[in-house]
A and B are shown apart, each in its own frame.
Chain A
Amino acid sequence: EAGVAQSPRYKIIEKRQSVAFWCNPISGHATLYWYQQILGQGPKLLIQFQNNGVVDDSQLPKDRFSAERLKGVDSTLKIQPAKLEDSAVYLCASSLELAGGPGQFFGPGTRLTVL
């Protein structure tokens, strides 16, 4: 079974530039999550989709971050414009159910450096 795919793996940009990350979840997983993990901290949920609908985006900085999952499969997370404090690893995860059950499966992450 293929895992969660993410690209790119690494990205370096200057502040005020824009950037986009892509995620393809495990086949059949209805729920998709984007997390931000700052160095030395645990992952923080940015947004959670159930199929193509948003379940939770309460911690997404909506003035600069956006995410979509148009066909209920793969997803894109965008930052525009980027700030220095956005430097982090962006993790995508998917699960069969909203919570509990088998748990979440994570992709390898995208390491973003904002200069």
Chain B
Amino acid sequence: AQSVTQLDSHVSVSEGTPVLLRCNYSSSYSPSLFWYVQHPNKGLQLLLKYTSAATLVKGINGFEAEFKKSETSFHLTKPSAHMSDAAEYFCVVSTTSGTYKYIFGTGTRLKVLA
């Protein structure tokens, strides 16, 4: 069975400092992994995705994530936080074998301090 765990429910950073949002996954098959962002009262927007190509994935707005199979992790990073990055972030795992599902983590709320 597939699952995803977001290790922090809330993260606070100061503007201009690095962002790290942690995600661990469990999958019996080769997973596809995604990060979505949700700003208040908005729909979810795809930030980036990993689908078995390069392990370091670059997304929109300066975000990137690295797939580490040995650690079953897919952490999201950004070198320098901006006020507009304040939002809820969801890590998602899907599989292309067995049951076809997207499994969402519980989310990490990122707060950016001025």
Contact = CB atoms under 8 A, between A and B. Distances in A.
Interface of A: 4, 33, 41-45, 48, 55-56, 91, 93, 98-109, 111
8 contacts: A4-B43, A41-B106, A42-B90, A56-B100, A99-B96, A101-B51, A103-B92, A104-B34
B99 interface: yes
Contacts of A55: 100
Contact-residue size bin, chain B (C-beta under 8 Å from the other chain): 20 to 34
Contact of B101 (A56, A101, A107): A56
A71 B46 CA distance: 27
The dominant DSSP class at the B interface is: strand
A100 B51 contact: yes
Contacts of B45: 106
A111 B100 CA distance: 27
A67 B100 CA distance: 19
Contact of A98 (B43, B90, B100, B106): B100
Contact of A99 (B90, B101, B105): B101
Nearest to A40: B107
A55 B45 CA distance: 24
A82 B46 CA distance: 31
A78 to B, nearest CB: 21
